[in-house]
Structure 1
Amino acid sequence: MPTVAIAIFPGVQALDVAGPVDVFSEANGFLAPADRYEVKLISAESVPLRASNGMTLVADATFDDAREPFDLALVAGGPALPNNESPDTRLLDWLTNVAAGCGRYGSICTGAFVLGHAGLLDARNVTTHWQHAAQLAAQFPQARVDFDRIYLRDGPLVTSAGVTAGIDLSLALVAEDHGPHTALAVAKRLVVFAQRQGGQSQFSPYLTAPADDTSPVARVQAHVMERIRERFTVKQLADVAGMSARNFARVFVQETGVTPHEFVERARVDAARKLLESSGAALKAIAYDCGFGTADRMRIVFTKRIGVTPMGYRERFRAG
């Protein structure tokens, strides 16, 4: 019987725990007794603890007691983890020891930060919630952070994006263990996609507010957003900033991390997403209003950036 350990702690995200537990539990209904997953929640103390949503969880064992080899060990995420510079040493010690004897180990959502503190992300391809991916990359520079993937496997290490992505990861592990048909059957029971189309980009905004909204770069960004239908050249944008084209391009990349062309394309994608979510306008009209020119061009850029077509995005996210 394969054993699964999920580390929990005060302030854990309840859905990071419940999602994977339900996947493995539902999978057991399709498996022979010897193949069924045995899932245990592990924490520092065997007392009830509060999740971030107020729900009470009780662990099956403590870190001190649960030292046996597990087939899979995961640490759940929690809203406070990205800014917690010193996670519970008992959790870190448990993770380090268990990972050494595990066939697979990893994290759900921001649980990746705990793995980072335990030194388990170095030289690995990993992912986490899109809101915290840049922070994870900055805090643990030896990790190779993918900002878009829903889940990732690098050798024995598995990581997932935010919250419900723990379900995606768990379904992928069930498929790995027992084939895609079993994973599909579980997904149908849970009324979720067995394999979600696209990456995290479809949930995250491309554009963030500039640090200094009075800077020349911020002025250019506002200029683009206000005239998103128009075509832009570096020379035109440099004139708005009051700089030479060469200096403007250098400063823009330095302050934003992307080229002016990249920014304009991202701005067009974000503008199109808002219209796809809030209106029933024809795709060709949205493409024109957002500066793509044609619906075909918008589809090409959208698919490259978001991983789904504009129509697919509208079907998922249009309000009402």
Structure 2
Amino acid sequence: MTGRRVVVVGYHAAELLDIACVTSSLIMANHHGAAPPYDVSLATPSGLPVTCATGLTLQGQQAIERVTGPLDTLVVSGGIGHEEAAASRVVVGHVRRLARESRRVASVCTGAEILAAAGLLDGRRATTHWEYAPELAARHPAVTVDARPIFVRDGHVATAAGVTSALDLTLAFIEEDHGAALARTVARYLVTYLQRPGNQAQMSMFTESPPLGDGLVRRVVEHVTGHLGADLATATLAAAAGVSERHLTRLFLKELGETPGRFVRRARAEAAAQLLAATSLPMSAIATRCGFGSAETLRQAFVDHYGIPPSRYRLTQASTLPSAAGTANTA
């Protein structure tokens, strides 16, 4: 192949952003020296135009029935039309066929439903948009659905969470294919994050809805997120709430699916991520603000939550950071 052939699969009521985030990023990579370049095309049933969920119409460049391999990458878009597409023998059958002829297979958002219908996610860990994750898990019990990350790589198959997470996945592909420098260049031209780690949460606990069940849990959660630098040991939290440690742990497991200690560690790691991306504070200062005893404790918690050290995370978030007192340390 003279170029890396990438086929994006679209269908009626696909999400335009799911498609454009992939195609625009790859073409931008071509403009900045990707070698070999990406040969990108949109394949639709019978090669016909598709009306996206936004109401705009896209012209298919290839009929999915006529596409043949080998392909470098096959990407299945998501959208509100995903159920109809997943029920289509034409779409699912040809996605299954093309996957066998592709070096890399991916989906964006609810496109995971189509990969699952084709049997391509059986025995694999996968993600999709958080709102549709329970539905995917219920329909396809052979798939290990994880609604938390923005994208998941399991072997040669990748699944992205939703909409703009396609940018993160595509930047990861560009880095894998052509190196980090080109990925950073593309991200800067797209005016987006240089690259969020794949296992970064789709929704931060600082933006998601608070627990709606037990009022005591709500109060403890609000205290934790508002006082990250304080003593947040489970015993301390339980005493302040007027309950036993065992009872508080039982309530947290019921409402949040994790222990108070795990919740505190996650809250502190996410707060640290915000400071790493938005400031040039040294690691020791971030550790203190977020309640970690030291920069090393911060590093350990960060690696546990995000899979990369905080220094690497900071490098992937911005090319320049607002000035703050001190110089960033390495951790």
Letter matched to residue 269 of structure 2? V
Structure 2 residue 204 is the aligned partner of structure 1 residue 205: yes
How far the C-alpha of 1:56 sits from its partner, in A, is 3.3
* Corresponding residue of 2:7: 5
* Corresponding residue of 2:262: 262
Letter matched to residue 124 of structure 1? R
* Distance (Å, rounded) in 2 between the aligned partners of 1:313 and 1:257: 32
1:7–1:75: 8 Å Cα contact kept in structure 2? yes
1:27–1:36: 8 Å Cα contact kept in structure 2? yes
Are residues 295 and 98 of structure 1, via their aligned partners in 2, closer, same or farther at CA, if it must alter by over 3 Å? closer
Are residues 226 and 153 of structure 1, via their aligned partners in 2, closer, same or farther at CA, if it must alter by over 3 Å? closer
* Distance (Å, rounded) in 1 between the aligned partners of 2:293 and 2:145: 34
* Corresponding residue of 1:58: 59
Unaligned runs of 5+ in 1: none
How far the C-alpha of 1:214 sits from its partner, in A, is 4.1
How far the C-alpha of 1:128 sits from its partner, in A, is 4.3
Deviation string for 1:46-92 (max 9, x for gaps)?
443343455431102334x32534424321233x368x487451422
* Corresponding residue of 1:163: 166
* Corresponding residue of 1:75: 76
2:195–2:316: 8 Å Cα contact kept in structure 1? no
TM-score normalized by the length of structure 1:
0.72
Q: How many residues align?
A: 306
Structure 2 residue 129 is the aligned partner of structure 1 residue 126: no
1:126–1:154: 8 Å Cα contact kept in structure 2? no
* Corresponding residue of 1:235: 235
* Distance (Å, rounded) in 2 between the aligned partners of 1:30 and 1:229: 45
Name the % identity.
27
Are residues 169 and 30 of structure 1, via their aligned partners in 2, closer, same or farther at CA, if it must alter by over 3 Å? closer
Are residues 165 and 190 of structure 1, via their aligned partners in 2, closer, same or farther at CA, if it must alter by over 3 Å? closer
Structure 2 residue 227 is the aligned partner of structure 1 residue 224: no
* Distance (Å, rounded) in 2 between the aligned partners of 1:308 and 1:186: 19
Matches within 5 A, 1:1-320: 1=1, 3-22=5-24, 25=27, 27=30, 38-53=39-54, 55-63=56-64, 65-66=65-66, 68-71=68-71, 72-78=73-79, 80=80, 84=83, 87-89=86-88, 90-128=90-128, 136-137=136-137, 140-145=140-145, 147-148=148-149, 150-155=151-156, 157-161=157-161, 162-171=165-174, 175=177, 180=178, 188=185, 191=188, 196=195, 198-201=197-200, 204-206=203-205, 208-274=208-274, 284-306=284-306, 307-309=308-310, 312=314, 316=318
* Distance (Å, rounded) in 2 between the aligned partners of 1:219 and 1:190: 39
Deviation string for 1:190-231 (max 9, x for gaps)?
7579x9473342774146434425433223222323433221
Letter matched to residue 201 of structure 1? Q
Unaligned runs of 5+ in 2: 324-331
TM-score normalized by the length of structure 2:
0.70
* Distance (Å, rounded) in 2 between the aligned partners of 1:230 and 1:285: 15
Deviation string for 1:231-280 (max 9, x for gaps)?
13323333445443223323322321111111111222334445566677
1:123–1:142: 8 Å Cα contact kept in structure 2? yes
Are residues 269 and 188 of structure 1, via their aligned partners in 2, closer, same or farther at CA, if it must alter by over 3 Å? closer
1:284–1:294: 8 Å Cα contact kept in structure 2? yes
* Distance (Å, rounded) in 1 between the aligned partners of 2:268 and 2:183: 38
Give the SS at the match of 2:200.
helix
Letter matched to residue 205 of structure 1? S
* Distance (Å, rounded) in 2 between the aligned partners of 1:284 and 1:37: 43
* Distance (Å, rounded) in 2 between the aligned partners of 1:105 and 1:273: 30
